């Protein structure tokens, strides 16, 4: 599991199991043990091994749709599964609920990754979202984006259910073995980024922004899974340039186990989220739950999570974005007292407002409403 949508499905499914009869259809190798536990994995059709990734996705959707017989409702997440939900609705006459974690019209850079497949992914999303019985937006800003991109959609069908956070799992870990293995100095500030190497996550902006921040700060980039060879190359070049002008820049390209990420989040002086598009930004919640202040871009649903001036600092995405990021990072690094108070307030906000149990209950109430109307 990686990325906000993957985390969302993992934890929502865990909470839903005690509330509904649940099967989870996802990508990957089939495991008999998981199948017995209600997790059914699907692989793309082997005849499409060299085909465009969008076509391979559609083959998974067909397999998922075939496995939905006997269900009363189907709930899909992201365009990778939306078509499966739509086909299940048509084939079995059951309601389709979909959660929008991002929107293809707002991610034009995906054409770099998918080529003509971007037209297919956009078609699949539009078809599913305009025909769904209910659409869940993970933030108020996301709801506005959905209605802006798809004006044919009835606004009454779009419901806000925020992403959640497991604050028993994401909590401060004061161990230091991960820090020691990476070679971090516990007595110096740490600026931490965790995310994929994509246009959406704004990583090139961050690499340019941290060139001139407090020289005492260590920069840790947990950054992998590049969308395309081109953005991977751009990242590597910017990383090399950054490494030449400042010391203690650490790049971790592999996906770390969750406990190791939690330890890094706990010890970071500041977590930075430079996204240029973000429906909510669940990683900010993860940092807040670990008691760490957040510097993030003021886009999408991030302001619904990061309370500017209280749990972190929000930076407008404008022509001065990179300078603003650097200035905000320095303001947190340079004021340990305020940073500590922000971290404490962030933990309190995550615990009080974003528990997965509440997210699951709101989701089930929507299921019940939709099934009654069907």
Nearest Cα residue to 333 out of 211, 215, 173: 215
DSSP 165: B
CATH no. for 177-353: 3.40.50.2000
Indicate the pTM of the whole model.
0.79
pLDDT of amino acid 36: 66
Low-confidence ranges of the chain (pLDDT < 70): 1-2, 30-36
The residue ranges of every structural domain in the chain are: 3-164+355-373, 177-353
CA distance 46 to 323: 48
pLDDT of amino acid 353: 86
CA 199 remoteness from chain centre: 14
pLDDT of amino acid 28: 84
pLDDT of amino acid 374: 79
pLDDT of amino acid 32: 62
pLDDT of amino acid 199: 87
DSSP symbols for 282-344: HHHHHHHHTT--EEEES-TTGGGTS-BTTTEEEE--STTHHHHHHHHHHHHHT-HHHHHHHHH
Which of the four CATH numbers 3.40.50.1860, 3.40.50.80, 3.40.190.10, 3.40.50.2000 does domain 3-164+355-373 have?
A: 3.40.50.2000
């Amino acid at each position: 599991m990686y990325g906000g949508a993957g985390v969302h499905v993992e934890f929502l499914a865990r909470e839903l199991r005690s509330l509904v009869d649940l099967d989870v259809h996802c990508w990957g190798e089939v495991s008999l043990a998981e199948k017995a536990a209600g997790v059914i994995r699907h692989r793309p059709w082997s005849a499409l091994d060299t085909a465009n990734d969008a076509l391979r996705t559609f083959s998974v959707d067909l397999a998922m749709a075939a496995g939905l017989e006997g269900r009363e409702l189907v709930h899909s997440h992201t365009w990778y599964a939306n078509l499966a939900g739509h086909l299940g609705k048509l084939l079995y006459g059951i309601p389709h609920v979909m959660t929008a974690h991002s929107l293809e019209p707002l991610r034009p850079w995906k054409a770099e990754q998918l080529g003509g497949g971007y037209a297919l992914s956009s078609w699949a999303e539009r078809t599913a979202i305009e025909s769904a019985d209910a659409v869940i937006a993970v933030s108020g800003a996301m709801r506005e984006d959905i209605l802006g991109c798809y004006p044919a959609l009835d606004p009454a069908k779009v419901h806000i259910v925020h992403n959640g956070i497991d604050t028993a799992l994401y909590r401060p870990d004061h161990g230091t073995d991960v820090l020691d293995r990476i070679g971090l100095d516990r007595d110096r500030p740490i600026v931490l980024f965790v995310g994929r190497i994509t246009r959406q996550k704004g990583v090139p902006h961050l690499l340019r922004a941290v060139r001139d921040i407090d020289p005492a700060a260590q920069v840790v980039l947990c950054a992998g899974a590049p969308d395309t060879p081109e953005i991977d190359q751009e990242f590597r070049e910017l990383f090399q340039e950054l490494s030449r002008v400042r010391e203690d820049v650490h790049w971790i390209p592999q996906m770390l186990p969750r406990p190791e990420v939690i330890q890094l989040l706990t010890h970071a002086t500041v977590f930075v989220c430079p996204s240029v598009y973000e429906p909510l930004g669940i990683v900010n919640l993860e940092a807040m739950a670990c008691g760490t202040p957040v510097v993030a871009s003021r886009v999408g649903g991030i302001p619904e999570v990061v309370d500017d001036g209280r749990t972190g600092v929000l930076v407008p995405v404008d022509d001065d974005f990179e300078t603003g990021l650097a200035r905000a990072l320095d303001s947190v690094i340079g004021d340990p007292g305020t940073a500590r108070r922000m971290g404490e307030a962030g933990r309190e906000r995550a615990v009080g407002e974003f528990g997965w149990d509440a997210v699951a209950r709101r989701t089930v109430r929507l299921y019940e409403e939709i099934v009654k109307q069907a």
